[in-house]
Structure 1
Amino acid sequence: MPRIVIVTTRPGPRDRLLQAARDLTYTQGVHVGVDAILKQADVARRSLYQHFGGKDGLIVEVLRSTDPVARYRATMDAAGEEPRARVLAVFDELDRVTTSPDFHGCRFTAAELALADPGHPAHQEIRTAKWRLYELFAGELTRHGHPDPDTGANQLVVLVDGVLAQGVTRPEAHPALAARALAEMILDQDGRP
């Protein structure tokens, strides 16, 4: 009988750096030390500069490669086709996420607040992610027949951001459920004065 050899390959230095930075910047913030990232990734400092040009480039790539809208879209898709149910499902999922002991807030908002340099390239990635969330909600509200999908989408994004912030400081208050009730009010607008 032939001998079967199973070969497992270890991810390369670039992938290990990305995963270590993704984990550590979420749990400790974007100011986590380079040495901690290198240690967790088990790579030499040279790899950081070869692949990302430095820590700033690594942070940008972590944000670029993290798609928060995909999770919201998957949640909506699992809720079916009815736009109202799809939007409200986001808040149900946010309640589950924000009450988890592993929840540390929104990596994008945390990075935006921590990076004082307005010219830091990560700011564009953060704004792009928030814009994509707005577009997702605007599309759903348009399908829902909302009288003002732009304003409604902005309101929903504000609610989501509020839930993510309150979920860090007061998860026991279930901010997503409070926001869900407000989201229902946004969805129920009919355009009449």
Structure 2
Amino acid sequence: MASTNEAATRSRRLHTVKNVEQNVKEARQKALAAQQRIEILAKPLNAVSQKLARLERESSSVEAAGERRIESLQEALDKKIEKLKADTAAKIEQTKKDTAAKLTELQKNQQGSEDALALEYAQAVVQFSFGGSNADLATVLGITNKAAKELIASSTEDLEKAGISAKQPTESAAAAAAEKEDPAPAGALPADHEAAAEKPADSPTLASA
């Protein structure tokens, strides 16, 4: 009886071990088959993923090259701008110096002309004062009567310092100037001719007597 029970127990144990090994083997085979099936199914996905990765690498490469080019151009531009600023600043300073030198030379050359014109202006003011009043001069120059009076006085003083005599024009000169400005009408006789015409001629009787 005991031997029968032991045999039955041993038989169940062996049967159980055999089943476990078989089950593990079958599970392994199923897993391998599933893995192979998944790999086969995933091949198109892997292919597309590789293509997308290649496109991304190409885009990244182009973008990186563009960024490097832009950076290089920006650096070159910055250098050119700095050089241009320095050159322009130097040219501006040189132009200022040249302009100042030219103005100095021009002022030296114009000094004599300005002095002569100042005296000529003073003469014109004094000559104007001989025939016009302070108010007239003020109206012409657009200044006050007081300023006109002071201008006449200073102009007279400048002429005296320069040794120039400001003489009042004579009546004949003034008349000639007026006649020049307002000429007689065509066909009109001079004043002396008009006087001769108005003088009566000697009668023949008086002449014979």
TM-score range, shorter chain: under 0.3
Task: Answer with 1 or 2: which has the greater Rg.
Answer: 2
Q: TM-score, normalised by structure 1?
A: 0.26
Q: Relative contact order, CA 8 A, sep 6+: which one is greater?
A: 1
